[in-house]
Structure 1
Amino acid sequence: MLVLLLLVLPPLPAAHTTRLHVLGDMGPERQHPVGTGDYVPCRLAHFGTYTYVAPFLERVTHVGSGHITLFLLIYEVAGIVGNFLGGSSVARHSRGTFAAAAALIAGATLPLPVLGRWELGAVALLIAWGVGYGAVPVCSQSWFSTASPEAPEASTVLFTASFQATLSTGALVGGVVVDHTSPSTVMTTGGVAAVLMVLVVWVHHIRKVEWPETRQGRR
């Protein structure tokens, strides 16, 4: 990976030193992801469910420990496909790509407690889930960088920090749900959060709320 980075990536010299006040100025910005928090439900939905997908496969689908690795490998391959699909469409249809990704996550996690009882159903839903979430980091990182083109380093800092925050928070909330209910319930809860994300994007579309890309002449 290091060799590929050295060969493929162009030089990216820092334009200026990033101070703490730069990060503070980015958060309250109306159209900045940190200020709006629009992507948070989608990430919470993913990390709150995927963290416990192995217990789900073991207890509900009754997959052996050796086959769980294969199931997760299939999911990761689907995630790579989602990376490419999201990357090819996010520049032209940022809002639609993000909504489609959240809809795929919801469409995979909500029926998982029922269809996931069978291995074929679980695999099919994991593929849809992987494709959906594979597009989410591409969309959100593109949104972060476009919202603050004058401060790419600071934007990357906020993206990474928000990623880690939603990862830990989602896993924590999912763990509480699993402890008090079951792995099936956490899948349903995550699906509801993903549906909420789709509704947020839809409301923004109805109210004609501009995303950073639209301010640059994109849709």
Structure 2
Amino acid sequence: MRTKRNHLLVFILTFGVFSILNTEMGVIGILPLIAEHYEVSISTAGLIVSLFALAVAVSGPILPLLFSGMNRKHVMLFVLGIFIVGSLVSAITSNFTVLVIARVVPAFFHPVYCSLAFTVAAASVPKEEAPKAVAKVFVGVSAGMVLGVPLSSLIATSTSLFYAMLFFAAVTIIAFVATLLFVPSMPVTKRISMGTHLYVLRRSVMWLSIAGVIFMNGAVFGVYSYLAEFLKTVTRYDWNTVSVLLFLYGLANMVGNMIAGKLLANFPLRTIKMYPIALITVYILLFTFGQFSVPTAFLIFIWGIIGGIGGNITQYWVVSAAPEAPELSNGIFLTSSNLGTTLGASVCGLIVTGISTQYIVVGGIVFLIFSIVTNYFRISMTGRFEGSKVEG
């Protein structure tokens, strides 16, 4: 019975994370419609994406810590409620500034829910099974990215922008009701002291973990940010095929999430060491064979699986540096991953404008080389070997 309850809890957490990532990423598919509806430029409309990410990065290390002493169920309901209100306001407002505010305010609470989801999922199972539970929650992250964009675009083009925004609210309402009805009360019996949190932030191993996450995430999302452009200009796919391949990448990401849970539970260090080497290999092959349609499609699928594994690795890398402060370390992970995405996209954007789109993989390879260096020092500092859990 307990096992069934734990499975249900992890499923609800996964769906809750999906609802939040769906709200965050789904608007990417309707940015042109938002720009047209509010009579702003596409770059101005893009503020609702970039400012959302900035809010997540800023609040990541702070708000999860502030809420860490409260009943976890109440906190999750509070955050989901804020996202519901934000989506409803976004649906009815005719003012672009109000739309931006309705997007950015919930974004500050994004790390609170996601941090709790990872923490609660890991705590709901035996310690050795924690990576597998977290991997299941990561499926919600990938699903939000994979399904949110095409679904919101389909709804908006079939009906209107209003109903696309209502779609975000409806999904979050389902997560809210499921949490209310089926998630047990989770009061915090022992709050971690501020001194412990400050001690965590003074650890060299934590800062090496943060650097590793920034470089690993930058390597994936820096290149992914321009994947559509790569497929269009280098491989010369038509836009319909590009959409299919982006969807394929996302599905492969979800497969990678599930594989990562087993790998990190059984072979953590070996997985972390091999990850950048595997991704460098894919990038070299993509650079070499990117002009050919069939090899490129195969490489996109393999890249998606490796990218999904990488998402779990980055979360594991930070949390294992401070297992005694999971809310704080998960918040730091979210901030680090967002910083990595921003930095990677900026560097690869400079490569696109300064050299050519084909060379974006070079930016990814450079980030991966830096990650190998930082991860080497991180592993050396912990003094752990294969077969043991990596803890800072």
- Please give the alpha-carbon distance, in whole angstroms, between the structure 1 residues aligned to 2:183 and 2:317: 21
Aligned residues, how many?
Answer: 215
| 1:69 has 2:243 as partner | yes
- Please give the alpha-carbon distance, in whole angstroms, between the structure 2 residues aligned to 1:93 and 1:101: 12
Match in the other structure for 2:206:
32
Choose between structure 1 and 2: higher helix proportion.
2
Letter in 1 for 2:356: S
The answer to whether the 8 A contact 2:319-2:326 is kept is yes
- Please give the alpha-carbon distance, in whole angstroms, between the structure 2 residues aligned to 1:49 and 1:114: 15
Letter in 2 for 1:218: K
| 1:50 has 2:224 as partner | yes
Note the C-alpha offset of 1:126.
Answer: 0.9
- Please give the alpha-carbon distance, in whole angstroms, between the structure 1 residues aligned to 2:328 and 2:373: 29
| 1:147 has 2:321 as partner | yes
Alignment partner for residue 161 of structure 1, among 324, 335, 355? 335
Match in the other structure for 2:122:
none
Q: 1:86 to 1:59 in 2, by over 3 A?
A: same
Q: 1:13 to 1:141 in 2, by over 3 A?
A: farther
Alignment partner for residue 382 of structure 2, among 187, 199, 210? 210
Note the C-alpha offset of 1:130.
Answer: 1.0
Match in the other structure for 1:92:
266
Note the C-alpha offset of 1:60.
Answer: 0.6
Letter in 2 for 1:132: I
Letter in 2 for 1:119: S
CA RMSD of aligned residues (A): 3.0
| 1:16 has 2:16 as partner | no
Q: 1:190 to 1:74 in 2, by over 3 A?
A: same
The answer to whether the 8 A contact 2:208-2:378 is kept is no
- Please give the alpha-carbon distance, in whole angstroms, between the structure 1 residues aligned to 2:193 and 2:208: 17
Note the C-alpha offset of 1:103.
Answer: 2.1
Letter in 2 for 1:210: T
In the alignment, structure 2 segments of 5+ residues that lack a partner are 1-14, 17-173
Q: Which structure is richer in relative contact order (CA contacts within 8 A, separation 6 or more)?
A: 1
Moved more, 123-132 or 102-111: 102-111
1:58-207 matches, cutoff 5 A: 58-198=232-372, 201=375
Q: 1:55 to 1:28 in 2, by over 3 A?
A: same
Note the C-alpha offset of 1:18.
Answer: 7.6
Q: 1:60 to 1:34 in 2, by over 3 A?
A: same
Note the C-alpha offset of 1:154.
Answer: 0.8
- Please give the alpha-carbon distance, in whole angstroms, between the structure 2 residues aligned to 1:35 and 1:101: 15
Note the C-alpha offset of 1:197.
Answer: 3.0
Note the C-alpha offset of 1:105.
Answer: 1.7
Note the C-alpha offset of 1:151.
Answer: 1.3
Bigger Cα Rg: 2
What are the superposed Cα offsets for residues 6-38 of structure 1, whole Å, 9 maximum, x if unpaired? Answer: 48877654442786x765543331222556623
Note the C-alpha offset of 1:202.
Answer: 5.5
The answer to whether the 8 A contact 1:106-1:194 is kept is yes
- Please give the alpha-carbon distance, in whole angstroms, between the structure 1 residues aligned to 2:182 and 2:320: 22
The answer to whether the 8 A contact 1:104-1:129 is kept is no
Note the C-alpha offset of 1:115.
Answer: 0.7
TM-score, length of structure 2 as denominator length = 0.49
Letter in 2 for 1:184: Q
Letter in 1 for 2:266: R
The answer to whether the 8 A contact 1:45-1:194 is kept is yes
In the alignment, structure 1 segments of 5+ residues that lack a partner are none
Secondary structure of the 1:32 match is: helix
The answer to whether the 8 A contact 1:104-1:128 is kept is no
Secondary structure of the 1:76 match is: helix
- Please give the alpha-carbon distance, in whole angstroms, between the structure 2 residues aligned to 1:182 and 1:91: 40
Q: 1:27 to 1:35 in 2, by over 3 A?
A: farther
- Please give the alpha-carbon distance, in whole angstroms, between the structure 2 residues aligned to 1:24 and 1:166: 23
Q: Percent of aligned positions with the same letter in both sequences?
A: 22
Note the C-alpha offset of 1:97.
Answer: 1.0
Note the C-alpha offset of 1:128.
Answer: 1.6
